[in-house]
Amino acid sequence: MSDRPARNAIEVRSVSKIFGSGEARFAALDRVSVEIRENEFFTLLGPSGCGKTTLLRLIAGFDFPSEGEIFLHGEDIAPLPPFKRPVNTVFQSYALFPHMTVAENIGFGLEMLGKPRAEIEARVAQMLKLVRMEQLAGRRTSQISGGQQQRVALARALAPQPKVLLLDEPLSALDFKLRKEMQIELKRLQHETGITFIFVTHDQEEALTMSDRIAVMSAGKILQVGTPWDIYDKPAERFVADFIGETNFLTGTVDGIANGVGRARLGSGIEIPATIAEGFAPNGAATIIVRPEHARAVKSGGHLAGTVETIVYFGTDTHIHVRLDQGDVFTVRQQNSRSQSCGFEIGDRAGIEIAADGAQVLRD
Amino acid sequence: MATAAETAKHAEQEQVRRRWLLSTPALIIIFVAAIGPLFVMLAYSFMAKGDYGDVKFGTFSLDGWTSVLFQRDIFDDTLGLADAHLSILWRSLRLSFYTTVLTLIFGFPTAYFISTRPPHTREIWVFLVTIPFWTNLLIRTFAMQQVIRNEGLVNTALIWLGIIERPLQIMHTDVAILLGMVYVYLPLMVLPLYASMEKLDFRLVEAGYDLYASRLQVLWRIIIPLVKPGIIAGSILVFIPSLGAYVIPRILGGGKNMMLGNLIELQFGSGRNWPLGAAISITLMAMVMVALLVYVRNATRSGAGHG
């Protein structure tokens, strides 16, 4: 399966979704285009109201785009009703049928497809095994726990063997420990079934740990698509850098750009090498970001200088907040060791040394 | 130990006594206004009829009950089936059943429409549904007469359009009674249906579509099973008053097309046969009870036995 060239499971072409009209007109999606490959764990990440659920609903067929096209394996599915799309959804609230048993819920899709009874039973048994729920087949959905309901919802959506599985914040109702468990479970299911997963979440950590690729959304637009590594280490825009992980924003000027790398002159006058986001136009001031773990606090020297303001101990590491001489606060994350403290006291002078590949210039 | 248990027992008895005392007014009302009259009716049904109405007190007779179904031939004194009563009974059952089915057919989409509106407009729709209740039943029935009589709205319009030449005879037929009952009892179906549909989680409907169920399959497999309590409540609320309807068949059905309510009225009025009237009333009540029991048993069985 893996040596076949990756083709697009879903292709969204310049799709807009407008709600209301006149003054109440609101574009939930604004000319969004994205390609989702086959067998991919693809995540739509963004804060609430960014349009990620709207995009999912358009792919599922619960809503229709105001403009644009949606292709599934090259076929335009935008005009099809949801029951004619080989796509299934795991709902945020699970939406299990309360008047049916666990097994009846899982078999519902196959029954509606008109599969023979023997095939349905075999497939339901297989699905129950896949999500480890064999014991509870005859239970009503109101008689099982939240985590179990989640598994039933997954099994129900996977049973008809959809080409694409849509997951709308399926883990948000679970407690922390169960959520961690289900994250691993979801990855396992995706691996075992080989089905394309499109996962919607507002949890950046969930997105980073689970996805093959992530699309970061804000205000009805996709800002950046890339691997978790791309998104975290090479954010293109301020929103992406800010939404995912912790970031230090610095201002400076950039010149000498070649092969996506340039020289960034910081406020202190020192120049450091920096990778440049695609689409960056050098016109005066630029925003340079440095992740807290890509910098070090040093007693003397360094690229920037300031005064230690607060020290926060996190167990695995320590965050040192340094008030720069230019006025901003710069956070440094240092790994802890058992024998030594971080070496700084509040009020100490400190230099900040940025790692050789630690700086990234944003396009906005 | 023993004394403590005894005091506790005393306290409990005291509490039970007080509880009964407090519910006395309610119990008196229930007995005097509801259960008492039933026994009076039952007693009357087993007495001989008086010559000018009323009953002959203390004279036991089964005539009231036998004449529910049978009639005595005036020439040879043999008992034969009372065809008139049977046809009235049959009409009552039939028309009540049709009324229930029709109100369900019209009420279901209405309730669905209301429950899918935005929350603040729902209240307006529910309010509109209840508006007919503000007008007296008698007046609403006469209004219906104005619509369907020979010179009424429907016939005038149809003749003017050239669809028919002579007016359709709708008044004084079973169809007229049915129209009247469907019109009058429709809100009684819509309101309980709406109450259960309002609680329906429409994400379940989306889940159904997502799992390849067509619109009809979503209706049969998801919506109807989930709003079943509303369907049952609405059907009971429509069927029971339909069975005992009096004003509607009296006005729209004329003298010929009687229902049970009219037959009872006739016995207490110009028929001067109170024992028969009492016996038919009790028969009607028994039928309602049977209908209720069938529904309740059906509802509990399908509710629990699905898995």
Query: Is A238 domain-assigned?
Result: no
- Nearest by CB to residue B207, choosing from A81, A91, A160, is A91
Cβ proximity of A290 and A250 under 8 Å: yes
Same domain, A225 and A303: no
Residue after which a domain boundary falls, among A233, A263, A285: A233
Q: Which residue has the higher pLDDT, B167 or A225?
A: A225
Same domain, A219 and A277: no
Q: Which residue has the higher pLDDT, A253 or B104?
A: B104
* Three-state DSSP state, A29: strand
Mean pLDDT in chain B? 88
* Buried/exposed code over A270-290 (b: 16+ C-beta within 10 A; e: otherwise): ebbebbbbeebeeeeebbbbb
pLDDT at res. B205: 93
Pair of tokens at residue A180: 């961690």
Same domain, A189 and A335: no
- Nearest by CB to residue A160, choosing from B211, B214, B217, is B211
The CATH number given to whatever domain includes residue A78 is 3.40.50.300
pLDDT at res. B113: 94
Mean pLDDT of B188-195: 94
Q: Which structural domain, as residue segments, surrounds residue A268?
A: 248-361
Whole-angstrom distance, CA of residue A265 vs CA of residue A249 = 14
Same domain, A253 and A317: yes
CA distances from A18 to A14, A23, A66, A175 (A): 13, 12, 6, 35
**In angstroms, what separates the C-alpha of A135 from chain B's closest C-alpha?**
15
Read off the pLDDT band of B2 (50, 70, 90).
Answer: low
* Three-state DSSP state, A332: strand
Spell out the domain ranges in chain B.
1-36, 83-304
Same domain, A187 and A289: no
Read off the pLDDT band of A2 (50, 70, 90).
Answer: very low
Q: Which residues of B touch A91 (CB under 8 A)?
A: 203, 206-207
Q: Assess whether pLDDT exceeds 60 at residue B93.
A: yes
Same domain, A259 and A223: no
Q: Is the CB of B206 less than 8 angstroms away from the CB of A83?
A: no
Q: Assess whether pLDDT exceeds 90 at residue A273.
A: no
**In angstroms, what separates the C-alpha of A97 from chain B's closest C-alpha?**
7
Q: Which amino acid is at B305?
A: G
Q: Is the CB of A97 less than 8 angstroms away from the CB of B203?
A: no
Pair of tokens at residue A145: 């726990």
Lowest mean pLDDT among A278-282, A313-317, B108-112, B281-285: A278-282
Same domain, A256 and A229: no
The CATH number given to whatever domain includes residue A343 is 2.40.50.140
Mean pLDDT in chain A? 88
Which tens digit of pLDDT belongs to each residue from B244-273? 899 999 999 887 888 999 999 998 888 888
Lowest mean pLDDT among A227-231, A283-287, B197-201, B220-224: A283-287
Mean pLDDT of B197-208: 92
pLDDT at res. B68: 85
Q: Which residues of A touch B301 (CB under 8 A)?
A: none
Q: Is the CB of A89 less than 8 angstroms away from the CB of B210?
A: yes
Same domain, A45 and A101: yes
Q: Which residues of B touch A101 (CB under 8 A)?
A: 306-307
Mean pLDDT of A302-331: 88
Whole-angstrom distance, CA of residue A141 vs CA of residue A148 = 9
Residue after which a domain boundary falls, among A200, A233, A266: A233
**Pairing between β-strand A213-218 and β-strand A41-45 as defined by DSSP bridges:** parallel
**In angstroms, what separates the C-alpha of A53 from chain B's closest C-alpha?**
14
Task: Quote the number of domains for chain A.
Answer: 2
Read off the pLDDT band of B300 (50, 70, 90).
Answer: low
pLDDT at res. B306: 40
Q: Measuring CA to CA, which residue among A279, A290, A282, A296 is closest to residue A333?
A: A296
Same domain, A78 and A216: yes
Beta strands in B98-232, from DSSP E residues, in sequence order: none
The CATH code belonging to domain B83-304 is 1.10.3720.10
Share of chain B above pLDDT 90, in %: 50
Which tens digit of pLDDT belongs to each residue from A142-152? 889 888 999 99
pLDDT at res. B1: 53
pLDDT at res. A6: 55
Provide residues of A within 8 Å CB-CB of chain B. Answer: 60-62, 81-84, 87-89, 91, 93, 95-101, 104, 108-109, 112-113, 138-140, 156-157, 160
Q: Measuring CA to CA, which residue among A294, A308, A204, A205 is closest to residue A250?
A: A294
Mean pLDDT of A288-301: 88
Read off the pLDDT band of A3 (50, 70, 90).
Answer: very low
**What residue of A is the nearest CA neighbor of B201?**
A95
Which of B206, B211, B221, B226 best tests the A interface by mutation, with the highest count of A CBs <10 A? B211
Q: Measuring CA to CA, which residue among A241, A240, A262 is closest to residue A253?
A: A262
- Nearest by CB to residue B209, choosing from A83, A98, A140, is A83
Q: Which residues of A touch B213 (CB under 8 A)?
A: 83, 108, 112
Size of interface A-B (CB pairs under 8 A): 68
Mean pLDDT of B82-94: 89
Residue-wise DSSP of B192-215: HHHHHHHT--HHHHHHHHHTT--H
Mean pLDDT of A238-254: 90
Residue B276: in which H helix or E strand, if any? helix B274-304
Share of chain A above pLDDT 90, in %: 48
Residue after which a domain boundary falls, among A202, A233, A264: A233
Q: Is the CB of A109 less than 8 angstroms away from the CB of B211?
A: yes
Mean pLDDT of A291-317: 87
Same domain, A145 and A258: no
